[in-house]
């Protein structure tokens, strides 16, 4: 019912506007077209300057309301992100100046040079020095931005530091799987045809490779260490996903068949970020940023940044995936007095993934 | 950068070489039935109208789709039972848009707006209308191919439209159709028959685009009237020329990419597929050794020129309209042509800036940063030249002029954010966020739409022999430009917060759910702006039949040749000889005269410049 009401109102408004517009056309015919055109020109000339002023005020208000909601009010949570932020600011200043000059000129000229009988348009064809200036100045500004940008780009995409911890990140429809290499620091071989979701082998680990036996596989939540560089080895099981890390200001696609990598250094633990943002519910989120199907929007991962000590405790509690696939090989299953503790830790580590 | 040699061109008397041709044309006119005049017409002006109206229908469909998915983003809690009654359960469940419908709408909105509205609707309309009229030709080089171009587009439209009604839904993997999502039937319901129809429609569309583009190029190069040297061409023609060249060179690459995709989908090849396990069917696919990134290269090799295929016609028309209505010559004509040329060349060399985070070799990425930011230079030249054209002009605010000025404003706003995104170190944060959505909607979507509106308001009298209602035009412009900024400006902030695009629902995310209120405002404004476009449509269709009649063949006091044709222009354009051209198109305000048409011989005492 309300729907019909809304439609009726819209149709009515349309009819009114249309009738007014039609009437104004008749009036202009009666008044004489020239006179009517002059009036219309004046009104639109006024709107030019009004739009400029209203627009600038609007931009100010918009910024005031929305800037605090962006990430930029707080420090970036990664060392690399600081460079992104400073680059954002430099780019904002340069493009902002150009924006103001050109928009003000555009609408001001519109207002100032609206048609009058007094003025004749100035027959002005070209001016080489002027054109040279506005070719050269943007070119120089672009060079500056390219230099800053590429310096950062190479530092982001260069090789990860040797002491970086390695984590494998694998996207699937619709969730994230993380693998830690365990004590031997080597990721065991995997082959996608060995993937067996029901049998807990979600990555297709090849058990003939001894390096796999201590690899830890977790779903949904990734643990990182504060101030320690981390290199993510990124892959996908099915379609293209993207590891989006807004708080760290980075992202990298996850492509099936073509591994990619991304490294960065987290600066703040999750706990510290809760204080910095003043948000007790703060969590680092890992968002999928590449359209990957109907569940794309729900492909949420959690990143927990902790201190090295906390991380060591956490990792020690994780069971290698080998034991999830072959429970009978699990030493804790053979020693009943230890079974209780592992069960509870397993339950704890499973908690965050339940939120998925 | 002087037009001096042009101005001193030969002014000898023209020889009536076209008389015979003209008689043929008269003969032709008498035998037109309804079918040959309105349906299978070979008259470029009728084909232009067909492109325009088909494009407008698509614009309404695509716009309506955006309203539907904006309802979901803006009002995720609200339930819309009446829409469920209207559209059925596949689209709405319990009054809520389903996720599959949301993605289907987003995808179809993108495809339709980019290809069917802003490529076919914009350059199809104005290339067809303006090229023969402004270069002084009776029709296109091949009117028959031109007609086929429209009907292939029509066929593509029918196929694309039919994909909406497939039981598994239209394609829903984004307009860029990245495999493996688009290649695997089981990865998404939209990747089933909907994707097959999408591919066939796009392939048909490419055929249409090539037939049209080849015709445009040949006509511009070979069928200019006497005296119409390339440096006397109006900027619209230069822009449409580069547009056609871009299309002819890049659309085949897209087609090749699509064909490989068809093979991967249906014939077991592995061009794009490797190491894939489909969870929904618990199967590991046999395909190994393909590369999903290959498609992105092929796609964006069209995809980026495509942005300029959309934009260049608008750049050209806006130059023409601004000059005409500022009553001043366009400032730096040769620089305008050169910058169009530079943009056209560069547009082929920047495609991988869409792929900075795809795992691309960082060195390759850095080359593309350099080339991408280079585009800012010719773009800046264009903006400053438009500003100087306005400076000390005597500006008439026709609705076309307003939309042209609005175009410049949007082109600046959206172009500047391109400098952010083209820099890979910033793109690594902003990629696939709402910042990108804001950027390309402003600079490509809304700006080109403004170029199209400017063109429609300006050449409507030529197309239909009547005026559009001015007051409605003014209302249309001011609400649309204010609305466009209100919709897309705040999205930059969402992008700076890292809010990803193509999300059906943000409620479970702590990082992005602070924008609920803003999303509601944006959706509301989007609906208002959409309804204002309906007002434009009413104006358009009402004025075709009931608009104020044209009393003079040259209502805007314009120099270009299309205004030398009679008000009711028949097939063949000029009843007598084709006019000869003696000067460039921008002698506005020369020697104290308002305007000097291109076909007026250069006077003996005329000052040169």
Q: What is the pLDDT of residues B373-409, one digit of tens each?
A: 999 999 999 999 999 999 999 999 999 999 999 999 9
pLDDT band at B7 (very low <50, low <70, confident <90, very high): very low
Q: Where are the alpha helices (DSSP H) in chain A?
A: 2-31, 33-66, 79-112, 128-157, 270-277, 308-317, 321-325, 331-334, 336-355
Can you tell me the mean pLDDT for A174-194?
Answer: 93
Whole-number pLDDT of residue B455: 97
Average pLDDT estimate for B2-6: 41
> Does a structural domain hold residue A151?
no
Percentage of chain A surpassing pLDDT 90? Answer: 71
Share the mean pLDDT of chain B: 91
- Judge if A107 and A171 occupy the same domain: no
Judged against a pLDDT cut of 90, whether residue A183 lies above it is answered with no
Is A282 in the same domain as A349?
A: yes
Q: Is B332 a member of any domain?
A: yes
Mean pLDDT to the nearest integer, B171-186: 94
Cβ of residue A159 closer than 8 Å to a chain B Cβ: no
pLDDT score recorded for residue B608: 59
**Do the chains contact at A296 and B503, CB–CB below 8 Å?**
yes
Are A71 and B333 a contacting pair at CB < 8 A?
Answer: no
Tokens encoding A286: 């890992």
pLDDT band at B6 (very low <50, low <70, confident <90, very high): very low
pLDDT for A15 equals: 86
Residue B538 touches chain A, beta carbons under 8 Å: yes
Does residue B355 lie within any of the structural domains? yes
Q: Write out chain A residues lying below 8 Å of B528, CB-based.
A: none
Q: How confident is the model at residue B31 (pLDDT cuts 50, 70, 90)?
A: low
Q: Which of A41-50, B8-17, B199-208 has the lowest mean pLDDT?
A: B8-17
Q: Within the 266-295 window of chain A, which residues sit less than 8 Å (CB to CB) from chain B?
A: 279, 281-283, 285, 287-295
| pLDDT beyond 90 at A344 | no
Q: Within this chain, do residues A343 and A262 fall inside the same structural domain, yes or no?
A: yes
Domain identity same for A187 and A284: yes
Q: B496 vs A156: CB contact, 8 Å cut-off?
A: no
Residue partners of A269: CB distance under 8 A and separation at least 6: A226, A305, A306, A307
Distance (Å) from the alpha carbon of B223 to chain A's nearest alpha carbon: 28
pLDDT in the model for residue B2: 40
- Residue A120 to chain B, least CA–CA distance (Å): 7
For B517, counting Cβ atoms within 10 Å of its Cβ (0-12 exposed, 13-18 middle, 19+ buried), the class is: exposed
Quote the CA–CA distance of B449 and B440 in Å, as a whole number. 12
Q: Which residues contact B330 (CB under 8 A, 6 or more apart)?
A: B235, B319, B320, B322, B323, B336, B385, B389, B586
From chain B, the residues in CB contact with A277 under 8 A are none
Is A40 part of a structural domain of the chain? yes
Q: Which residues contact B140 (CB under 8 A, 6 or more apart)?
A: B44, B128, B131, B132, B146, B215, B216, B219
- Do A55 and B485 lie within an 8 Å CB cutoff? yes
Q: Is residue A48 part of a domain?
A: yes
Contact B365 A157 (CB under 8 A): yes
Same domain, A273 and A175: yes
The pLDDT tens digits for B71-93 are 999 999 988 888 898 898 899 99
Across the interface, whether the CB atoms of A204 and B493 are under 8 A apart is answered no
3-state helix, strand, coil in chain B (%, to 5): 65, 0, 35
Same domain, A274 and A346: yes
B373 within domain boundaries: yes
Give yes or no for B64 touching A (CB within 8 A): no
Q: Using the predicted structure, report yes or no on whether residue B33 has a pLDDT greater than 90.
A: no
- Tell me if B92 sits within 8 A of B98, measured CB to CB: yes
Structure tokens at B278: 């489909």
Residues of chain B numbered 85-114 and touching chain A (CB < 8 Å): 99-100, 103
Q: Is the pLDDT of residue B522 over 50?
A: yes
Contact in structure between B583 and B607 (CB atoms under 8 Å) = no
Whether B346 is covered by a domain: the verdict is yes
Indicate yes or no: CB of B394 within 8 angstroms of CB of A120. yes
A196 and A326 belong to one structural domain = yes
CA–CA gap between residue A237 and residue A233 (Å, rounded): 13
- The domain total for chain B is 1
Please report the number of interchain residue pairs, chain A to chain B, with beta-carbon separation below 8 angstroms. Answer: 396
Residue B604: inside a domain? no
Is the CB of B178 less than 8 angstroms away from the CB of A247? no
Strand-strand pairing, A175-180 and A165-172: antiparallel
Summarised one tens digit per residue, pLDDT across range A282-319 is 999 999 999 999 999 999 999 999 999 999 999 999 99
Q: Which residue of B has its CA nearest to A255?
A: B292
CA angle B111, B116, B118 (to 5 degrees): 95
CA B364 to chain A, closest CA, distance in angstroms equals 11
Q: What is the CATH number of the domain that holds B220?
A: 1.20.210.10
Give the mutation candidate from A75, A142, A270 for the B interface (greatest B CB count, under 10 A): A142
Task: Look over chain A and give the mean of its residue pLDDT values, rounded to a whole number.
Answer: 89
Q: Answer whether B181 sits within 8 Å of A260, measured CB to CB.
A: no
Residue A235 shares a structural domain with residue A341: yes
Q: What's residue A9's pLDDT?
A: 87
pLDDT of residue B30: 54
Per the domain annotation, does B109 fall within a domain? yes
Looking at residue A344, which CATH number applies to its domain? 2.60.40.420
Residue range B341-370, pLDDT digits in tens = 999 999 999 999 999 999 999 999 999 999
Mean pLDDT of A72-79: 92
Q: Look at residues A82, A115, A148 and tell me which one is the last residue of a structural domain.
A: A115
Q: Is B115 left (phi over 0), alpha (psi -120 to 50) or beta?
A: alpha
Q: Is residue A136 part of a domain?
A: no
Q: What is the pLDDT of residue A348?
A: 44
In a domain, A209, yes or no: yes
- pTM greater than 0.90 (yes/no): yes
Whether residue B475 and residue A21 make contact (CB cut-off 8 A), yes or no, is yes
Nearest CA in chain B to A153: B425
* 8 A C-beta contact, residue B580 and residue B227: yes
A6 within a domain of the structure (yes/no): no
pLDDT given for residue A335 in this prediction: 59
Asked whether residue B29 is assigned to any structural domain, the reply reads: no
Last residue of one domain, picked from the residues A115, A149, A173: A115
Q: Quote the CA–CA distance of B31 and B34 in Å, as a whole number.
A: 10
Mean pLDDT of B489-497: 95
Q: Which domain holds residue A52?
A: 31-115
* Contact between chains at B369 and A149 (C-beta distance less than 8 A): yes
What is each CA distance from B434 to A35, B176, B500, in whole angstroms?
Answer: 46, 16, 6
Whether A99 maps to a domain, the answer reads yes
* C-beta atoms of A21 and B290 within 8 A: no
Long-range contacts (CB closer than 8 Å, 24 or more residues apart) made by A346-355: A346/A319, A348/A317, A349/A218, A349/A221, A349/A314, A349/A317, A349/A318, A352/A220, A352/A221, A352/A302, A352/A304, A353/A175, A353/A218, A353/A219, A353/A220, A353/A221, A355/A220, A355/A302
**What pLDDT, on a 0 to 100 scale, did the predictor assign at position A5?**
83
What pLDDT sits at residue B23?
A: 44
Identify whether the C-beta of residue B146 lies closer than 8 Å to the C-beta of residue B88: no
Among left, alpha and beta (phi > 0; psi -120 to 50; other), residue A299 is beta
CB contact under 8 A, B387 and A240: no
What domain range includes position B371?
Answer: 35-591
Mean pLDDT, range B505-519, rounded to an integer: 92
Are A199 and A329 found together in one domain? yes
Q: Give the gap in angstroms from C-alpha A301 to the nearest C-alpha of chain B.
A: 10
Other CB atoms within a 10 A radius of the CB of residue B240 amount to: 28
Cis peptide before A174 (omega within 30 of 0): yes
Share of chain B above pLDDT 90, in %: 87
The number of domains in chain A is: 2
Q: Which of residues 375-434 of B touch A (CB under 8 A)?
A: 376-377, 380-381, 383-388, 390-397, 402, 405, 408-409, 412-413, 416-417, 419-420, 423-426, 428-429, 431-433
CB contact under 8 A, A153 and B470: no
Summarize pLDDT for B430-445 with one digit per residue, the tens.
Answer: 999 999 999 999 999 9
**% of chain B at pLDDT higher than 70:** 94
Indicate the range of A230-244, B17-31, B42-56, B338-352 predicted with least confidence: B17-31
């Amino acid at each position: 019912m309300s729907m019909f009401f809304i439609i009726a109102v819209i149709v009515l408004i349309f009819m009114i506007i249309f009738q007014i517009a039609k009437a104004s056309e008749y009036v202009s015919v009666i008044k004489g077209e020239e006179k009517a055109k002059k009036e219309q020109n004046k009104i639109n000339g006024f709107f030019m300057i009004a739009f400029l002023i209203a627009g600038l005020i609007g931009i100010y208000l918009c910024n005031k309301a929305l800037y605090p909601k962006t990430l930029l009010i707080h420090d970036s949570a990664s060392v690399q992100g600081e460079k992104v932020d400073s680059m954002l600011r430099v780019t904002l200043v340069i493009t902002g100046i150009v924006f103001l000059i050109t928009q003000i000129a555009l609408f001001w000229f519109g207002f100032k040079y609206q048609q009058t009988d007094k003025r004749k348009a100035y027959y002005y064809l070209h001016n080489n020095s002027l054109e040279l200036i506005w070719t050269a100045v943007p070119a120089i500004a672009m060079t500056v931005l390219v230099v800053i940008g590429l310096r950062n780009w190479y530092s982001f995409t260069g090789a990860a530091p040797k002491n970086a911890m390695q984590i494998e990140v694998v996207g699937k429809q619709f969730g994230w799987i993380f693998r830690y290499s365990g004590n031997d620091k080597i990721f065991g071989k995997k082959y996608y045809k060995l993937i067996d979701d029901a049998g807990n082998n979600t990555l297709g680990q090849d058990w003939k490779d001894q390096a796999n036996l201590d690899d830890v596989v977790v779903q949904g939540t990734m643990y990182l260490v504060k101030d320690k560089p981390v290199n993510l080895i990124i892959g996908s099981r099915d379609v293209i996903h993207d590891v989006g890390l807004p708080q760290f200001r980075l992202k990298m696609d996850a492509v099936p068949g073509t591994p990619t990598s991304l490294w960065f250094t987290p600066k703040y633990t999750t706990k510290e970020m809760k204080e910095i943002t003043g948000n007790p519910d703060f969590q680092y989120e890992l968002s999928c940023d590449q359209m990957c199907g109907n569940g794309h929007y729900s492909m949420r991962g959690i990143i927990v940044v902790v201190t090295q000590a906390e991380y060591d405790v956490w990792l020690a509690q994780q069971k290698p995936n080998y034991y999830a696939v072959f429970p009978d090989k699990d030493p804790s299953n053979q020693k009943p007095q230890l079974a209780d503790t592992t069960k509870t830790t397993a339950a704890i580590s499973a908690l965050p993934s339940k939120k998925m | 950068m002087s037009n001096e040699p042009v101005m001193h061109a030969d002014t000898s008397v023209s020889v009536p070489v076209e008389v015979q041709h003209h008689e043929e044309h008269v003969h032709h006119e008498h035998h037109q039935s309804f079918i040959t005049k309105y349906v299978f017409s070979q008259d470029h002006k009728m084909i232009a109208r067909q492109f325009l109206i088909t494009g407008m229908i698509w614009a309404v469909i695509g716009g309506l789709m955006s309203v539907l998915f904006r309802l979901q983003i803006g009002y995720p809690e609200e339930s819309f039972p009446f829409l469920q009654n209207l559209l059925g359960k596949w689209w709405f469940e319990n009054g809520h848009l389903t996720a599959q419908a949301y993605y289907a709408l987003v995808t179809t909105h993108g495809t339709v707006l980019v290809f069917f509205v802003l490529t076919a609707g914009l350059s199809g309309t104005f290339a067809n209308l303006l090229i023969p009229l402004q270069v002084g030709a009776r029709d296109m080089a091949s009117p028959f191919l031109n007609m086929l171009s429209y009907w292939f587009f029509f066929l593509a439209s029918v196929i694309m439209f039919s994909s909406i009604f497939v039981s598994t839904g239209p394609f829903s993997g984004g307009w860029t159709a990245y495999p493996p999502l688009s290649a695997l039937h089981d990865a998404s319901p939209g990747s089933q028959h909907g994707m097959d129809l999408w591919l066939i429609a796009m392939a048909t569309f490419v055929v249409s685009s090539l037939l049209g583009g080849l015709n445009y190029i040949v006509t511009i190069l070979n069928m200019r009237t006497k005296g119409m040297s390339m440096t006397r061409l109006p900027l619209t023609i230069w822009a449409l020329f580069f547009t056609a060249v871009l299309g002819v060179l890049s659309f085949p690459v897209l087609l090749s990419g699509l064909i490989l995709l068809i093979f991967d989908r249906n014939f077991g090849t592995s061009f794009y597929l490797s190491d894939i396990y489909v969870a929904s069917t618990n199967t590991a696919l046999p395909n190994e050794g393909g590369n999903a990134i290959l498609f992105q290269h092929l796609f964006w090799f069209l995809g980026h020129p495509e942005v300029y295929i959309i934009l260049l016609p608008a750049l050209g028309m806006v130059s023409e309209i601004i000059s005409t209505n500022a009553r001043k010559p366009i400032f730096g004509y040769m620089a305008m042509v050169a910058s169009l040329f530079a943009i056209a060349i560069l547009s082929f060399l920047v495609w991988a800036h869409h792929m900075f985070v795809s795992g691309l070799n960082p060195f390759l990425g850095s080359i593309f940063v350099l080339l991408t930011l280079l585009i800012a230079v010719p773009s800046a030249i264009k903006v400053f030249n438009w500003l100087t054209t306005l400076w000390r002009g005597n500006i008439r605010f026709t609705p076309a002029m307003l939309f042209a000025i609005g175009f410049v404003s949007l082109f600046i706003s959206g172009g500047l954010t391109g400098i952010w995104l083209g820099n890979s170190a910033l793109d690594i944060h902003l990629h696939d966020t709402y910042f990108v959505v804001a950027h390309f909607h402003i600079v490509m979507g809304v700006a080109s739409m403004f170029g199209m509106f400017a063109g429609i308001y300006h050449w409507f009298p030529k197309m239909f022999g009547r005026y559009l209602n001015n007051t409605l035009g003014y209302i249309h412009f001011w609400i649309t430009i204010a609305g466009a900024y209100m919709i897309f400006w705040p999205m930059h902030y969402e992008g700076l917060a890292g809010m990803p695009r193509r999300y059906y629902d943000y409620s479970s995310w702590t990082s992005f759910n602070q924008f609920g209120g803003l999303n509601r405002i944006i959706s509301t404004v989007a609906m208002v702006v959409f309804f204002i476009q309906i007002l434009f449509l009413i104006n358009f269709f009402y004025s075709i039949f009931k608009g104020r009649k044209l009393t003079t063949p040259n209502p805007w006091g314009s120099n270009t040749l299309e205004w030398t044709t009679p008000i009711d222009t028949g097939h063949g354009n000029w009843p007598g000889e084709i006019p000869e051209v003696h000067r460039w198109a921008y002698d506005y305000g020369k020697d104290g005269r308002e305007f000097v048409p291109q076909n007026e011989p250069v006077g003996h005492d005329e000052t040169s410049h």
